[in-house]
């Protein structure tokens, strides 16, 4: 790994093996979703006009959205948790704010200097598949 590259939330997720869960595709995890639109606006360190607003759909959304702060380790937030909450409550639209889960630290993440202060404003719109009658 590059000396100055800190792992972000999605990197840590990809390297983790879970005891009671298996990683899968969006289609398998959410077969009831026909389409999804996610808009993320990030504020804080490392954010500029080119990366402030980001958009995702069912082909580009992942379990985690990464933080732009280059000093942040394990930074970002769980988009998967938000989608699971919406599906569980049969919600079509949802807006929320999340604070970065990471921290600013040494390149390998061994020393923690402070919590990352970046924030994310998230808007999610889900279109569910029509229920098939048998």
- The pLDDT confidence band at residue 24, using thresholds 50, 70 and 90, is confident
> Alpha helices, DSSP H only, in the chain?
9-15, 26-29, 79-88
Residue 134 lies in a domain: no
Instruction: Return d(Cα 4, Cα 88) in angstroms, integer.
Output: 40
Look at the chain and report how many structural domains it folds into.
1
Residue 44 lies in a domain: yes
Domain encompassing residue 33: 9-128
Residue 1 lies in a domain: no
Q: Please compute the mean of the pLDDT values over residues 90-117 and round it to a whole number.
A: 89
**Tens-place pLDDT, residues 39-98:** 999 999 888 887 899 999 999 988 899 999 988 888 899 999 999 999 999 999 999 999
């Amino acid at each position: 790994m590059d000396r100055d590259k800190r792992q972000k939330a999605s990197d840590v997720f990809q390297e983790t093996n879970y005891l009671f869960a298996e990683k899968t595709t969006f289609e398998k995890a959410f077969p009831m979703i026909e389409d999804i639109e996610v808009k993320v606006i990030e504020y804080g360190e490392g954010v500029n006009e080119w990366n402030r607003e980001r958009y995702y759909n069912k082909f580009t959304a992942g379990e985690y959205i990464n933080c732009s702060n280059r000093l942040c380790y394990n930074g970002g937030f769980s988009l998967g948790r938000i989608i699971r909450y919406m599906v569980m409550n049969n919600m079509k639209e949802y807006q929320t704010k999340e604070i970065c889960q990471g921290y600013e630290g040494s390149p390998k993440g061994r020393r923690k200097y402070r919590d990352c202060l970046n924030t994310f404003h998230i808007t999610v719109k889900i279109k569910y598949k029509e229920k098939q009658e048998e």
